[in-house]
């Protein structure tokens, strides 16, 4: 008698073309079939060359009809990692309406809508939603108002989803500042010298995602907070 091994679980990672998203993809690749999201197929080319078993999922997350169309073929989803986001920083006095709208649209509304669209697939797998939040989702600092507001909202979304969907696990991860290209842009805007040793590595945060996903089913990792040492 031939015994067929069950297929690997499926994980969709948004913002997977570089930085933390790519690190999460590398971390989950040995055990999961990966759907890797980014705004364009060209952006995904390097990580797909590195992880040829993965499948590209190129779509702009704020183009909601396109997201719905791209999600139609996903019937079962074991892990959804919300990693895509923007950090357009500014003071309350110096921030425009467009800045607020874009930040909240990308960091919160698009996350809520993608989750809603994929709920049937997540329910079918008793799946796991992992939201990459931020230390700014726990405290708001000067100059970070719109970003912190979007991340406070993301925490509220996770808390509500956890209560509304009891068959799912929902984990918010709150990393401190991470050594990524985005961080380099932030530090440049702050007018400081970039010192990578001040920040978490993307691999460390990806390891926290792995730890959450690998937690046995009798445990529900609701929040993970990481700070640079």
Residues recognised as catalytic: 147
Query: Which of 134, 148, 114, 140 has its CA nearest to residue 183?
Result: 134
- Return the structure tokens found at 28: 């989950």
CA 161/CA 223 separation, integer angstroms? 13
Taking residue 2's Cβ as centre, other Cβ atoms within 10 Å add up to 3
CA 30/CA 18 separation, integer angstroms? 18
- Do 101 and 150 meet the contact criterion of CB atoms below 8 Å apart? no
Taking residue 208's Cβ as centre, other Cβ atoms within 10 Å add up to 22
Phi, psi at 17, each rounded to 5°: -75, -25
Residues 6 or more apart from 87 whose CB is under 8 A from it?
147, 182, 185, 186
- Do 54 and 99 meet the contact criterion of CB atoms below 8 Å apart? no
């Amino acid at each position: 008698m031939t015994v067929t091994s069950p297929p690997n679980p499926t994980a969709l990672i948004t913002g997977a073309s570089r930085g933390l998203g790519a690190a999460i993809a590398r971390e989950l690749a040995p055990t999961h079939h990966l759907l890797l999201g980014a705004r364009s197929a060209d952006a995904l080319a390097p990580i797909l060359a590195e992880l040829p078993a993965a499948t590209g999922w190129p779509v702009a997350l704020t183009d909601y009809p396109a997201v719905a169309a791209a999600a139609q073929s996903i019937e079962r989803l074991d892990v959804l990692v919300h990693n895509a986001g923007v950090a357009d920083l500014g003071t309350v006095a110096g921030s425009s309406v467009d800045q607020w709208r874009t930040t909240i649209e990308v960091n919160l509304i698009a996350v809520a809508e993608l989750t809603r669209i994929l709920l049937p697939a997540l329910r079918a797998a008793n799946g796991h939603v992992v939201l990459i939040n931020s230390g700014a989702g726990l405290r708001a600092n000067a100059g970070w108002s719109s970003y912190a507001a979007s991340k406070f909202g993301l925490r509220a979304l996770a808390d509500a989803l956890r209560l509304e969907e009891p068959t799912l696990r929902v984990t918010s991860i709150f990393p401190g500042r991470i050594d990524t290209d985005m961080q380099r842009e932030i530090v440049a805007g702050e007018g400081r010298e970039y010192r990578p040793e001040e920040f978490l590595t993307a691999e460390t945060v990806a390891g926290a995602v792995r730890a959450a996903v690998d937690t046995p089913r009798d445990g529900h990792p609701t929040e993970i907070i990481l700070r640079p040492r």
